[in-house]
């Protein structure tokens, strides 16, 4: 298996597990997002210290907007996690993932300006899956 694909599989497993665990934490949405962010900083700090920070040629506009979108997404996501039941977590995560997958697909359509039959069928299949799994 391609190394990049393997990394994405591992990331998918880890990104799939953390919300299930966070839902059981008993924290409110804002508190869990804050604690999550602090621990990300703590876990990343040794790696950053080893690897260093390289910001040559960084586009700060994109960094700021990306960070804002990620922060707001984390607040909304954790807010929903904190208010749902353990049984409802999977359904909410699945809905979020379907929408999340649609964003790069729509971006691809905008950048390339074409819709293939395969992509159209993919959107339809994702919508059907979302309906059937929720």
pLDDT in tens, 61-116: 999 999 999 999 999 999 999 999 988 898 888 888 888 888 888 888 888 887 78
What does the alpha-carbon distance between residue 91 and residue 15 come to, in Å, rounded to a whole number? 15
Is residue 115 a contact partner of residue 109, using CB atoms and an 8 Å limit? yes
Q: Rounded to two decimals, what is the model's pTM?
A: 0.81
Tokens 């300006």: give the residue. 113
Determine the length of the chain.
Answer: 134
> pLDDT tens digits for 28-66?
999 999 999 999 999 999 999 999 998 889 999 999 999
Give the residue from 22, 38, 134 showing the smallest Cα distance to 79. Answer: 22
């Amino acid at each position: 298996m391609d190394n990049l694909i393997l990394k994405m599989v591992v990331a998918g497993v880890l990104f799939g597990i953390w919300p299930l665990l966070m839902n059981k934490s008993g924290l409110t949405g804002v508190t869990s997002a804050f604690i999550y962010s602090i621990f990300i900083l703590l876990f990343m700090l040794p790696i950053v210290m080893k690897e260093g920070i390289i910001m040559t040629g960084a586009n700060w506009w994109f960094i700021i907007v990306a960070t804002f979108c990620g922060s707001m997404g984390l607040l909304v996501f954790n807010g929903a996690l904190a208010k749902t039941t353990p049984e409802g977590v999977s359904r909410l995560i699945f809905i979020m993932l379907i929408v999340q997958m649609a964003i790069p697909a729509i971006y691809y359509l905008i950048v390339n300006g074409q819709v293939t039959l395969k992509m159209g069928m993919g959107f339809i299949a994702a919508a059907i899956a979302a309906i059937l799994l929720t």
